[in-house]
Structure 1
Amino acid sequence: MNDHSKASELATSLFDAYEQGAVAPLRDKVDATDIALAYNIQQENHQRWSEQGRVTIGRKIGLTSTAVQAQLGVDQPDYGMVYADTCYCSGAQISVGQFLQPKVEAEIAFVLKSDLDADNLTIIDVMNAVDYAVAALEIVDSRVANWDISLFDTIADNASYGGIVMGTTPVPLSQLDLESCKMQLSNDTEVVSEGEGRACLGNPLLATLWLANRMIENGQPLKAGDVVLSGALGPMVAVKSGDKFTATIDGLNSVSVSFVE
């Protein structure tokens, strides 16, 4: 079986998993070091969704924590697509039933005011391109059973993306200390995850620079209006019905979400 038909077969198994339930890890069926193949699988499903009318509004960056990278034996982040139908406003009530194995993590989201498509991008280009930041929650989900994932599995599975909950108070970069800002994620009154800006590749803007360069290489550069979910600032936490999560990040207003059946 050639790479294209293998990618197509594995893409279909992930595509169907959204409705039919989680599947066994993909890495056992391929050369798991073939990261290009994993992105081809992701892209194939992205194309299917786009053809069905799904609208892309940005990207998520995963594996920005060096601890998680070490756990999966990788030395760089990954990315996935963010879709309009998975974007929620802070305070939303969301049904857990629409996900398979949801978890939540707190992040900083950037919204761009200009394209990031120039040659030799620098951190200056990224700072100039960001319109504002908000606190955000990413709902991560895996179509691979029991979260038994490798780098190959998560990339193929749209970087384990589930949804994004956006805070609603835009803050310019000039008002933020993106390295030292502290994050606290609570479920009701219990603190369940903590971290800081530098947990995300040293600075969430560095993660965004990595993403911008990667998307240029792939011919899908970041555009004005795109949202960039820059990466978790602390450990992810499993979700169940009845949970109410609130994240606070220094300099940014809080963002919250409730989960129901």
Structure 2
Amino acid sequence: MTGRELREIATALRAARLHREPIPAPTKTWPGLDADEGFEVQRINVEAAVAEGDRVVGYKLGNIAKAMQDAFGLDQPDYGYLLASTFAYEGTTVDRGRFIAPFVELEPAFVLRGHLGGPNTTVADVIRAVDYVVPAIEIIDSRVENWAIDLPDTLADNGSTGAVILGGTPRRLAELTLRDTPGALHFDGRPVMSGNTGNILGNPLSATAWLCNRLAAYDIEFAPGQVILPGSCLEAVPMREAGHWSGTFQGLGTVEFDVRTA
């Protein structure tokens, strides 16, 4: 696929995000788009955002849990940059109108104290690089009509990123058992979904090592202070109504926010 075509896809996805009007899957409009080309589209749009004043503050891994792959019809994880403009503050109100078809996920977030990345990254490398873990909610959103995505589509769409809310209860790795930490999402006080961090490739530390090794092919590494989202531990829940969301991990804490629809 030519560079001009990749820029056309990037422009179409930027317009869809700006106007909150989804487009047909890029793989339908531009047949032959593969995962590497989808990732190049992702980079084109991130570079455009940075040129306009945004900032890369981390990276995300998505659809790592089988429940998520089944829900969105994928058989491989996706991944995308985290931009500062997508972060919202815990306890504040998020406007549903910012999104097209959002879903809410609960996951741990790693804040790095050291450099991380490169080929042959191990779980030990991840442990050494992580400073804190905090509970996080990711709002995923697709610029593709009806979430009818293949892997190249969601990669082109920056891993279907929407917004990120970080909790304010940092914990050290030694305080947690991330291969077995139960978590649950609540909406207006009612439980709506539960899961376990063990669903994130057995351990979210392993998922982060996987991400480092995958992104090494694109010469991407992570810097101290950046945030890594290793993926949701439970099936994402549609965010349709106004109300109060909270996500809690046993031993890690709670993160919460409100949604308005008008």
TM-score (norm 2): 0.94
1: distance between equivalents of 2:165 and 2:116? 24
Where in structure 2 are the equivalents of 1:1-261 lying within 5 Å?
A: 2-20=1-19, 21-31=21-31, 34-69=34-69, 72-74=73-75, 76-117=76-117, 119-260=119-260, 261=262
Q: Is the 8 A contact 1:108 1:230 kept in 2?
A: yes
2: distance between equivalents of 1:32 and 1:208? 29
Deviation at 1:219, TM superposition (A): 1.7
Q: Is the 8 A contact 1:215 1:222 kept in 2?
A: no
The letter of the residue matching 2:214 is R
Task: Please list every run of 5 or more consecutive structure 2 residues that lacks an aligned counterpart in the other structure.
Answer: none
2: distance between equivalents of 1:136 and 1:148? 26
Stretch deviating more after TM superposition (62-71 or 207-216) = 62-71
Deviation at 1:243, TM superposition (A): 2.1
Cα displacement string for residues 31-76 of structure 1 (whole angstroms, at most 9, x for unaligned residues): 45711111011111111111111111001111111244356352x4
TM-score (norm 1): 0.94
2: distance between equivalents of 1:214 and 1:89? 30
Q: Report SS of the residue matched to 1:24.
A: coil
Q: Report SS of the residue matched to 2:206.
A: helix
Deviation at 1:258, TM superposition (A): 0.4
Deviation at 1:14, TM superposition (A): 0.2
Q: Report SS of the residue matched to 1:231.
A: coil
Task: Please list every run of 5 or more consecutive structure 1 residues that lacks an aligned counterpart in the other structure.
Answer: none
Cα displacement string for residues 185-231 of structure 1 (whole angstroms, at most 9, x for unaligned residues): 00012111110011111111111111122333312211111100110
The letter of the residue matching 1:123 is V
Q: Is the 8 A contact 2:118 2:213 kept in 1?
A: no
Deviation at 1:90, TM superposition (A): 1.7
Q: Report SS of the residue matched to 1:64.
A: coil
Q: Is the 8 A contact 1:188 1:244 kept in 2?
A: yes
1: distance between equivalents of 2:146 and 2:119? 41
Q: Report SS of the residue matched to 1:208.
A: helix
Q: Report SS of the residue matched to 1:85.
A: helix
Q: Report SS of the residue matched to 1:210.
A: helix
Stretch deviating more after TM superposition (234-243 or 126-135) = 234-243
Cα displacement string for residues 143-182 of structure 1 (whole angstroms, at most 9, x for unaligned residues): 1112222222111111100010000011000011111110
2: distance between equivalents of 1:67 and 1:139? 16
2: distance between equivalents of 1:168 and 1:87? 14
Q: Is the 8 A contact 1:184 1:195 kept in 2?
A: yes
Q: Is the 8 A contact 2:36 2:152 kept in 1?
A: no
After superposition, the CA RMSD in angstroms is 1.6
% same residue: 35
2: distance between equivalents of 1:78 and 1:240? 24
The letter of the residue matching 2:11 is T
Q: Is the 8 A contact 2:118 2:220 kept in 1?
A: no
The letter of the residue matching 1:176 is L
Q: Is the 8 A contact 1:100 1:142 kept in 2?
A: yes
The letter of the residue matching 2:129 is A
**10 and 118 in structure 1: CA distance in 2 versus 1, 3 angstrom threshold:** closer
2: distance between equivalents of 1:27 and 1:93? 35
